[in-house]
Structures are given as structure tokens and as C-alpha cells.
Amino acid sequence: MKNLNGLRQQSNSLQRSLSRDSRGLIALLLLFGSACSPVETTVTPTAVGSTQNLSKNSNQNPAPNQDKKVILTTFTVIADMAQQVAGDRAIIQSLTKIGAEVHGYEPTPSDLQRGQQADLILDNGLNLERWAEKFYGNLQNVPRVTLSQGVEVVNITQDEAAGKANPHAWMSPKAALIYVENIRKALVDLDPTNASSYNTNAANYSEKIKNLDQKLRETIATVPPEKRFIVSCEGAFSYLAKDYGLKELYLWAVNSDQQATPRQIQNVIEQVKSQQIPVVFCESTVSADAQKQVARETGAKFAGVFYVDSLTTPEGAAPTYLDLLTYNINTLVKGLKNSEQ
Ligand SMILES: [Zn+2]
């Protein structure tokens, strides 16, 4: 872990050297504009005042986004949720990029600059962002809201993390409705002028999540109950498994561990064999080597990747949260069904 005081010093000097171009920097760093595109946009920097005058209203040459609030989220999944609620009324960014691991992320000096310039930070909480407290310790007066507040927490049951909260609550559509309500409240508090827009967007989005939840339940119901296993690298499906009556098996509890021990691998191998589980999977943001070893040693099929800690680019299988849920369940059910004799 890098020394964050050092990062702050670097950040301060970076801020001084970049202050003239800070509007351009902000725009360059947008990972999630209104089109939710990961493509960085090249813009001509416009002049702003001194470092003390970095507020988004100090621009002498107004840009179209000038009055919009800037909301920084910690990872791409909640960035998409926030984007759905914000619509075109606020600017949503993600600190970690598409495909990046969020658990053990190490913020950079430019991340600190983005954090300091944001009007609001939205995080997941439940110790997903292990780096969050140090990161926040280097920011001054930036409000933040934790989106998992109010979710019924599921604890990790194995390894040294046993007894601690499982951070992957967003993987449950039911819990996602609480995230959406927390986003709505946070945006309305921050930017009451656009409250009616946020309220309407949140209601529409919640309706979509509920409809998808129903559809996914029906999809899972087509698999015989005794075959409803989900085997992955990370224990990221505990909330979803609880919702949908799936039995979950995983190599490691959270991705910051991501090196399976021989004992963890052996444990999964034994259970896959004894339960005659036909397919195993891994998450997109980590190496699937250990799970492929499980497949080799059990005769189960390695049947693909799940998307959990990150979305994909628009060309990928999971460019939005709703796509992510759909893809994971369809991939699981297809794998389980193809294995039927
Ligand atoms: Zn994870």
C-alpha cells in the first residue's frame, strides 16, 4: 500500500501544476459521461482561476456541464446505477476503471484530485473499498454516502474473513432497490433543483430491476432444485444465492485474497465431486487458473466468467448493471442445463 501522505503531497503539487487546466482535467477523467461511455473525451482546457477558485462555478468560459454536480463513485457497477438515477442532470464518474479490481485498489494522486473536486462521493461500504478510509482521510469536506446502508447484511462463512460482512450486496436485485433509493435521496439532497427528475428516474429504474428480478427467478426455476449450484472463484454470490435459493461454493471469500490456497482448491474439488456439480465459473476481474484446475481434477466443465466487481465496455457482455445480472444468470442456467443428460 502506498503512503497516502506521500500521495497527498504529490497530489498537491499536481494540483498546483494543473490548476490552470483543471476543467480539462476533469473532463478528461470522466469515465462515465451521460452516454455512460468509457471512452475518454479530448477537450480543450479552458482557463480557470487560482487553485482556491476551483469550484465548478468559477469558469469564465462556461461549458455546457458547468452547473451540473459531479458525483464520483468507487466502481463501475454503482456508477451505472447512479447514472440511471441522475440521467442527464448530473455528471457521474467511476474512480476504478472498467475491468479493474476494486477491493484492493490503490488510489493515485489524480484519484485524490478527482475526489477533492467531486460534489459527492458514493461508495458501497461493507468494507468493499478497503482503501476508502485512507482515501477519505486525504480529502476535505467532500460529502459521501454509502449505498449499502439499510441492506440486510449477509456474513462471510469461511476463511479468515468468516463472520465479517460480505460486501457484494449489489448482486441481489432486492438489495439493489435499496441502493437506488439511497442514490435518489443523496442526489435530491445534493441538488434539490432536479429532484423531480431524480425521483422519476429512480422510480422507472426500480421498476426495471423488479421486472428483471422476476424474470431471473423464472429462469432459475427451470433448473431442478437439486442442481441449483453456483460455483465461482469469489464468494460474490451470497446475496443472490440467498434470494434465489442457489447453493454457493467458492474458492476464496473476497477478491483481495485471490490466491487460492491448496486447501481451498481441494475443498471445492471435493464438494464438486461429491455433489456431482457439472459446471464451475470464475469472475472476470481475476485469474481463473485455480478454477480451471478444479475443472480438470473433477471433470466439471469450466463454463465461463461472471461479472461482479466491474462492468464491461459497451461492446462486452455486461455494460450495465441489468446486463450484468442477466448475463450471469443466463450463463449459469445455460451451463447447468447443457450438462443435463
Ligand atoms: Zn468482489
Q: How far is the CA of 19 from the centre of ligand 1 (A)?
A: 35
Q: How far is the CA of 258 from the centre of ligand 1 (A)?
A: 10
DSSP 113-158: HHHHH-SEEEE--TTS-TTHHHHHHT--S--EEETTTT----B--S
* Predicted confidence (pLDDT) per residue in 181-226, tens digit: 999 999 999 999 999 999 999 999 999 999 999 999 999 999 999 9
Q: How far is the CA of 284 from the centre of ligand 1 (A)?
A: 10
Distance CA 65, CA 302 (A): 46
Is the pLDDT reported for residue 3 higher than 50?
Answer: no
For residue 69, give the nearest of 175, 213, 216, 192 by alpha carbon.
192
C-alpha torsion angle, residues 238, 239, 240, 246 (rounded to 10): 50
3-state DSSP call for residue 90? strand
Report pLDDT for 161.
Answer: 83
Secondary structure tally for the chain: helices H, strands E: 11, 8
* φ/ψ of residue 153, rounded to 5: -75, 140
C-alpha torsion angle, residues 123, 254, 137, 57 (rounded to 10): -30
In CATH, what number does 222-338 get? Answer: 3.40.50.1980
How far CA 258 is from CA of 177, 185, 234, 255, 286, in Å, comes to: 29, 35, 8, 5, 7
Are the CB atoms for 168 and 236 separated by under 8 Å? yes
Q: Where are the domains of the chain?
A: 4-213, 222-338
Q: How far is the CA of 59 from the centre of ligand 1 (A)?
A: 39
Phi-psi region of 227 (alpha: psi -120 to 50; beta: other; left: phi over 0): alpha
Q: How far is the CA of 102 from the centre of ligand 1 (A)?
A: 7
Are the CB atoms for 41 and 47 separated by under 8 Å? no
- Confidence band, pLDDT 50/70/90 cuts, at residue 313: very high
pTM above 0.85, yes or no: no
Average pLDDT over residues 244-251: 96
4-213: in CATH 3.40.50.1980:
yes
Determine the length of the chain: 341
* Predicted confidence (pLDDT) per residue in 252-299, tens digit: 988 766 678 899 999 999 999 999 999 999 999 889 999 999 999 999
Q: How far is the CA of 232 from the centre of ligand 1 (A)?
A: 11
Same CATH fold assignment for domains 4-213 and 222-338: yes
Q: How far is the CA of 309 from the centre of ligand 1 (A)?
A: 5
How far CA 136 is from CA of 51, 131, 173, in Å, comes to: 20, 9, 28
Q: How far is the CA of 96 from the centre of ligand 1 (A)?
A: 13
